[in-house]
Amino acid sequence: MNLNYSKSLGLIAVLYFTVGVNAQVTDSLKEKKIEEVVVIGYGSVKKKNATSAIENIKADVFENRPIYNVGQALQGNAAGVNVIQNSGKPGQSLNVKIRGNNSISSGVNPLYVVDGIQTNDISGINPDDIVDLTILKDATSAAIYGINGSSGVVIITTKRAKNDKPQLNFNAYWGVSKAANNVDVLNPEQYRALMNEINPAYVATIDNPRYAGINTDWRSEVFRTGFDQNYNINYSFGDEKLRTYTALGYQGIDGIVDPSRFDRVSAKINLDSKLASWLKVHASLNYINTKLKNTNDNAAGARAGVILSTLTTPTFMPAYANQLKVRETDADGNYIDGYKDGQFAMNPFTAGWENPVAFQYRGLDNTNTHRFL
């Protein structure tokens, strides 16, 4: 009798295996197959009964997409998983929901398990290091993680060295982005005509000599051509006793709203050692450095943020006070506040409504994060 046994190991909580028994009887071959089983945590279920609760996404589904976040790898690739991106600015976090909202008081984002390490923040994980993602959707499959897995679990398996010849891989891509279908706005003459219909008193403000001949294209002041660059290199080597996988990656994204930018540097080492016939040791170390330059692009209330301000700020205004044709001075001939060099030009109708260029830098948020997993 021949006994054929094959197995493939998933990460930590999911183990697939199939056992087949082939028996030779005279000249005919009879085969009996045992049903495939999925081992989840400390229990097991038949795979045919678990297909709706567990889903696997291989890296080849998203490896050719210009993504910077693991959440984007899930987007559109798994049933029952909703990925919402609140903004298109570089480095923006994503909201991932598995089968909708599971709690009205706790967070709804799932638990992530990266090579056995639990985390709720995967913003800096390099997608190029990923082999596959396994999504545990229901309470049964996520039970091993307790309350941490109440909103679902995403198990991330990263690349490891194979027991063969040393291998060196390098990949890079570049991309550009531009704002599409910009909203047309009124030119100075059209704006003046509209203000005259609303309240003729506004026309006197528009006709003030300090604004003579000014026609600012706020969209050209705010929007630019974004640029995305990505470089990844990895080297793996080893034998049956010790295998090592090393990787280094860099991604830099200039957003279409100046001066927004996202930079990520990631370094990774995976070790697999067979110390004895009965003892194997696996180790993973991941270092991530992310730098985020974030502008106030979206806000509620009158000031609204740089995007809405770009569309609503009058074009007869300049960006800076020194661009005004006439600037007010005090008795000593010094420019008064609001007209000094280096200051942003104020909106003559409502001083609190800053112009878009002021929004770009006033709400600028610089974040530098170092993480080890």
The widest CA-to-CA distance across the chain, in whole angstroms, is 116
Question: How far, in Å, CA of 2 to CA of 9, rounded?
Answer: 23
pLDDT at 207: 92
Q: Work out the angle at residue 111's Cα, subtended by the Cα atoms of residues 105 and 117, and round it to the nearest 5 degrees.
A: 140
pLDDT recorded at residue 363: 65
Closest CA to 177 of 56, 49, 89, 46: 89
Predicted pLDDT of residue 14: 34
Distant-in-sequence, close-in-space partners of 87: CB < 8 Å, separation ≥ 6: 297, 298
Cβ contact 230:205 at 8 Å: no
Considering the entire predicted model, what is its pTM?
Answer: 0.76
**Which pLDDT value is given to residue 298?**
67
Among residues 233, 253, 10, 7, the alpha carbon closest in space to that of 113 is found at 10
pLDDT at residue 47, as a whole number: 57
Question: How distant is the alpha carbon of residue 370 from its chain centre?
Answer: 17
4 CB burial (10 A radius; 0-12, 13-18, 19+)? exposed
Q: Over its length of 373 residues, how does the chain's per-residue pLDDT go in tens digits?
A: 444 433 333 333 333 333 344 444 444 444 445 556 555 554 555 655 555 578 888 888 888 888 888 888 888 888 888 888 777 788 887 888 887 665 555 567 888 999 888 888 888 889 999 999 988 887 766 778 888 888 888 999 999 998 778 999 999 999 999 888 778 888 889 999 999 999 998 999 899 999 999 999 999 999 999 999 999 999 999 988 899 999 999 999 999 988 889 999 999 999 999 999 999 999 999 999 999 998 877 665 555 678 888 888 889 999 999 999 999 898 888 999 888 998 999 888 887 788 888 888 776 788 999 999 8
Residue 155 backbone phi and psi in degrees, to 5:
-95, 125
Q: What is the pLDDT of residue 196?
A: 93
pLDDT at 323: 93
Which amino acid is present at 352? G
Q: How far apart are CA 267 and CA 289, in angstroms?
A: 9
* Structure confidence at residue 52 (pLDDT): 53
